[in-house]
Amino acid sequence: MWDGWQNHVLHQNNRSSPVSIASDVVSGYVDWYHKVSHPYVHNPAHSTSSFDPQYTSHTSYYQDRVQRILNITRRIVDMGKEVALRDFPDDVYNAVESIQNLLEGRSSDG
């Protein structure tokens, strides 16, 4: 099984710095890791509607974040591109800034 193991190891030039805290990883990595490293064995004949293997403890956090982003963008999109950029350029900039803050895990007033 481990014959040629060196073919499965990253070359030194492709390695990055070790991660010491969870916030050092790429956004979404923890959810991905949970899905690929925590398999679920489930008998579909005995399934319940409450069982969702895609749901993690972070799901509601991300759903909330997406809803907050949609709340920020909806008003601007509804008014239309020309009106938003012509009459409310500061609002457009502030919306983009708020979305960036949310995506980077910082608080937003949006």
**72 exposure class (CB count in 10 Å sphere: 0-12, 13-18, 19+):** buried
Q: Which of 2-6, 42-46, 102-106 has the highest mean pLDDT?
A: 102-106
Q: Flag whether pLDDT at 110 surpasses 50.
A: no
Rounded Cα distance between 58 and 28, Å, is: 10
Rounded Cα distance between 20 and 77, Å, is: 40
Mean pLDDT of the chain: 75
Domain ranges of the chain: 30-103
| pLDDT score at 82 | 93
Predicted TM-score (pTM) of this structure: 0.44
Over residues 8-57, the pLDDT tens digits come to 777 777 777 776 666 667 777 777 777 777 666 666 666 555 556 566 55
Higher local confidence (pLDDT), 28 or 74:
74
| pLDDT score at 101 | 85
Over residues 81-97, the pLDDT tens digits come to 999 999 999 999 999 99
